[in-house]
Structure 1
Amino acid sequence: MDFNVKQRYTQFIKEKAKELGFSFCGIAKAEFLSEEAPRLDEWLKRNYQGKMQYLENHFDKRLDPTLLVPGAKSVVSLIYNYYPEKDLSQQTELKVAKYAYGEDYHFVIKDKLKTFLSLIQQEIGEVGGRAFVDSAPVMERAWAKRSGLGWIGKNSLLLNKEHGSFFFLAELIIDLELEYDGPVKDYCGTCTACIDACPTDAIVDAHVVDGSKCISYFTIELKEELPTDVKGKFENWIFGCDICQDVCPWNRFSKPHNEDKFNPNPLLETMSKNEWIELTEEVFQNIFRHSAVKRTKFEGLKRNIRFVIDQGACAT
């Protein structure tokens, strides 16, 4: 493809990403992730996935985007900010991760990606591709790093100099050749704030997280009874956990999002400890009808609440 045409298509895609509310857009060549292959293999061999068996599936597809989109040429990586105006964990006794305050991001961002792909096809013509929002075997952080959206922090999350890490990642994998961005420098330096702060010691090495020890894993992914050896270590988190992000110096640069759909249900802002304990399924459905919290279901959230209350960590 002619260089000027590639440049024009690339510019169009980045401009449309901004218009759709994405904070950053980076593009990488769609090719096999050779560096990530041995790391992923080792991570799985160490059983860091815990009971998340789905992470063991589609090993090849996770590493090769052309197996997800035949003829794929480019991976367009996107950042969508979710940092809230108010940090509810500072004003409520039991805590829910910031990403789950409002409507489920899968649906909010997927709708934007469908619009995005449609706009690309209207402008350029027949472009084949698929949209992904944490819902398919795509190594989104690896692609975001390759396309210059940031670097992988010691907590294994993508960090961006201007936005920290309170954002969602999304991708368009398309069969269109574009201009490609390159990776940026790692700016973590000697900082170990995230490693030091993790109450369950889930960050076993810089950039390596034992998923089976993470509070988010326990409160969302694990469907059975919570293990007694982590009692007293949840620091009042009942859905997800933001500890390693809250202590990260780069999150001083986080800015409140502009997405109305991510604003919390007013009831969530005022929930007292007793209201959480007495939570009914009706109230659960009212507050979390369109929220990612529905992943853990009513009984799962009640289990988490009991576990945190029983550990005696809550203030009275």
Structure 2
Amino acid sequence: MINNKEKYTQLIKAESKRLGFLSCGISKAGFLEEEAPRLESWLNKNQHGQMAYMENHFDKRLNPTLLVEDAKSVISLLLNYYPSEEQNSDSYKISKYAYGQDYHFVIKEKLTELLSTIQTEIGEVSGRAFVDSAPVLDKAWAAKSGLGWIGKNSNLITQKTGSFYFIAELIVDLELEYDYATTHHCGTCTACIDACPTEAIVAPYVVDGSKCISYFTIELKDNLPQEMKGKFNDWMFGCDVCQDVCPWNRFSKPHNEPLFHPNSEVLSFTKKDWEEITEDTFKKVFANSAVKRTKIKGLQRNIDFLKK
């Protein structure tokens, strides 16, 4: 006979599939013992650069029961963003995740609907949705729930679909059936380490965030360091190099989320177009995009830095 935990788990996984998520895994909420010393070491070495927010809420990052009272389960979800088309070859580059609408809003809406279905079908369940917006170690939870393994580039990787997807969570006070971590499949491969233009992957599984092109082009508010001149490989917002070279990403399949389809200018613009971009065009092209975070001044700073 099917028990409630099994029934609820099946309901949640079926609903996540209906909402378009690539996969869903569930872990028992609790303290992340293995991650605690790693996070502490990373912060102590200042590998978070000027991302001061990473120093906040240390305990909450490691323990979801401090984020959701009486939390029992962490539901991890993946949403594919791999595009069917890429930018013009004569262009400054934008990370693939930012081609379409801002993923925070797209995923938050899906998570709200998932939680609403849980509450309608199961009853009084308290929970919170997290999309890269609170102190949650999303990759650790996704790996713990069997959705993939954390690769040498510190991204979550799956054998069937690579790593071009977003990770999000619902933390709920409902007991469910729990999944198990999967095995690692990076082997002796060092493609990501060898290809990183700024040598930000300082050891297998350790990324010095303060050396990463994504950090420089998005997070850093100061002037870009001159010693990095010529090392950005034309990336003006984010960087996909360590994912592009990963052998597992040959299995990436294009997403089917209409809101992630890019504005035509994102694909067709040449370097000259980007160099001449106006405030009006910026607002039009990136109206609902994650690129808005840099504002036009930040994008222009990055483009100026890339000009030969």
RMSD, aligned CA:
0.9
Of 145, 163, 166, the residue aligned with 1:165 is: 163
Match runs of 1:1-316 below 5 Å: 4-88=3-87, 91-309=89-307, 312=308
Q: Does the 8 Å CA contact 2:16/2:114 hold for their aligned counterparts?
A: yes
Q: TM-score, normalised by structure 2?
A: 0.99
Q: Does the 8 Å CA contact 2:76/2:145 hold for their aligned counterparts?
A: yes
Quote the offset at 1:3 in angstroms: 7.2
Q: Deviations over 1:31-51 (max 9, x none)?
A: 000110000000000000000
Q: Does the 8 Å CA contact 1:92/1:270 hold for their aligned counterparts?
A: no
* Aligned-partner Cα distance in 2 for 1:3–1:300: 55
Structure 1 SS opposite 2:26: strand
Which segments of structure 1 move beyond 6 Å, counting only runs of 4 or more? none
Q: Does the 8 Å CA contact 2:81/2:164 hold for their aligned counterparts?
A: yes
Quote the offset at 1:91 in angstroms: 2.5
Structure 2 SS opposite 1:289: coil
* Alignment size in residue pairs: 308
* Aligned-partner Cα distance in 2 for 1:165–1:269: 21
Quote the offset at 1:273 in angstroms: 1.2
* Aligned-partner Cα distance in 2 for 1:186–1:162: 13
Identity %: 64
Q: Deviations over 1:172-231 (max 9, x none)?
A: 000000000000000000000000000100000110000000000000000010000100
* Aligned-partner Cα distance in 2 for 1:129–1:4: 22
Structure 2 SS opposite 1:110: helix
Quote the offset at 1:87 in angstroms: 2.0
Structure 2 SS opposite 1:189: coil
Q: Deviations over 1:154-176 (max 9, x none)?
A: 00000011110000000000000
* Aligned-partner Cα distance in 1 for 2:53–2:284: 30
Quote the offset at 1:125 in angstroms: 0.2
Structure 2 SS opposite 1:69: coil
* Aligned-partner Cα distance in 2 for 1:87–1:268: 9
Q: Does the 8 Å CA contact 1:71/1:175 hold for their aligned counterparts?
A: yes
Quote the offset at 1:68 in angstroms: 0.3
Structure 2 SS opposite 1:173: strand
- Tell me the amino acid that sits aligned with residue 139 of structure 1: L
Q: Does the 8 Å CA contact 1:92/1:269 hold for their aligned counterparts?
A: no
Quote the offset at 1:93 in angstroms: 2.1
- Tell me the amino acid that sits aligned with residue 255 of structure 2: H
- Tell me the amino acid that sits aligned with residue 43 of structure 1: W
Structure 1 SS opposite 2:3: helix
* Aligned-partner Cα distance in 2 for 1:273–1:5: 57
- Tell me the amino acid that sits aligned with residue 307 of structure 1: F
* Aligned-partner Cα distance in 1 for 2:60–2:21: 26
* Aligned-partner Cα distance in 2 for 1:77–1:45: 28
